[in-house]
Structure 1
Amino acid sequence: MKNITLALSAMVLAGCLVLLLFLATHQNALVKVHEKISSYSGVESVVEAKDKSKQAHKQDKAQNDKHKGIIEASMKKDENEKPHNAKNFVPIAQNSTHNLENNAVGKANLPEFSKALAIAQKKVNNDNHSNNQYNDYGIDSTCQGVYYYIFTFKNDKNPGSYYRVTVNTHSNAEIFDKSYRVTDNPSQNAPCISPQESEVIAQKYAADHLGANASLKQVKEAKEGMYYTFIDSKTENECRVVITKAGDVIQQPALK
């Protein structure tokens, strides 16, 4: 029994000795193995960091694309916006302005329709401290080729009458008529006034508004009749008026 115990002890000691000898002779190999394991851990950390960076970049890109899409959609909406008249409108501005080709309107340098309409709406609402319903619009140009909008609104404080207001290329709004009333259109069989009679009516109107120094500057055909422009030679103030075929007088904005 004693011999068996001694033999086992000797075997254990021999095993320990072999292990110590192995560790002593293979120390460099163990160091390399440790370094390799450590390097794997570092690589995993780098890979994990890169994955997180890529994920954050994707999230930022998605957010930026969403914001860009909203902006582009808004811009597209503005670009596609079309001028419009109110439902069941009375053609007031439409009848008193000239038909302009699309390319002419594009070169007019006017503010966007919605912006110009909002400016005109605010102008008339502030004038009578009321909510005046939009009616229709037109685009025309002065003798000098300067374009402008004409907007009409129902005068809430004066039923049956309309505001007429211009908006120019500088987004400035001016009311030139607060109580315009629509006259019934004459029947086709009703007699029309002659060009001479039309000019006499226009000259009288200009003299009442400008005085004795009023002189005819320009005359052109309008939708409803003849469009006259008079000027005061001393003050250079202008008066513009449309004389319809029935002899009615329609005041026009005196823009320069």
Structure 2
Amino acid sequence: MKKSSLVRRGGLLAAVVASFVLAGAAPASAAPGDGSAYGVKVDVKLLGQQAVKAGPLAAASTAGPTTSTLASAAVPGVLTAGVIATEAKRDDNSGAVTAKATTANVGLPLLKAALGDVGIKTVEAVCTATQAGVKGSSTLADAKLGSVGTVDANPAANTQVKVAIAGINIATVILNEQIKNQDGSLTVNAIHVKLLGGVVGSLGSGDVIVSSATCGPAAPPMPLASGAGLWIGLGLLGAVAVPVGTRIYRRRSAQA
């Protein structure tokens, strides 16, 4: 009778341990980390012209497609670009998210009247999200902003270049723009041109973004109750159950 009772108790203990192990493995949120990227987005209203909207071009997302390419892009009077390549991927084991957008041979005829010829060989935005946090950066290879001259290849976050005609600011160019979103994600826009409508000499209003990447926050690591995590949980369960079995064996031996 004692043996049967002890065995039942041992089985109950093992079941309780299993429930706690698997319950503790459940992630805090069922939603995985997200990431996205695109090469070009235009939304402007130039003086005397209809609104111009384009993009996001060559969009990629962790939800798919995870990569995208475009041979070239052109918005007359606003922007020209060569090859665009983007990617957004998630590591389901670690929960890490990475996103990147690269746009080649960028021109901004939109700013020609104020700055002269604007050309950048490569415009790249990158972001990564891990359990340690979210970070991002931008790279502008061989960037020349007309009368402003050559700019840093790796500008500090949210570097601003004022664009003026006859001493009146008509636009702002933000390099390596980094926006912390309310959901904990980070958006990196390598170049963001903001037209300041409503001022004397204005070109118009709206935004032009070149190479954008958004990441995170990172998803929880792989749940214990799935895949390799389940084997870890079963190993812990076995480690706890061994003393119960040992105790039963010893009592039997003592009564033999």
- TM bracket (short chain): under 0.3
The structure, 1 or 2, with the larger RCO (C-alpha pairs under 8 Å, 6+ apart) is: 2
TM-score, normalisation: structure 1: 0.28
Larger Rg: 1
TM-score, normalisation: structure 2: 0.28
**Larger strand percent:** 2
**Larger helix percent:** 1
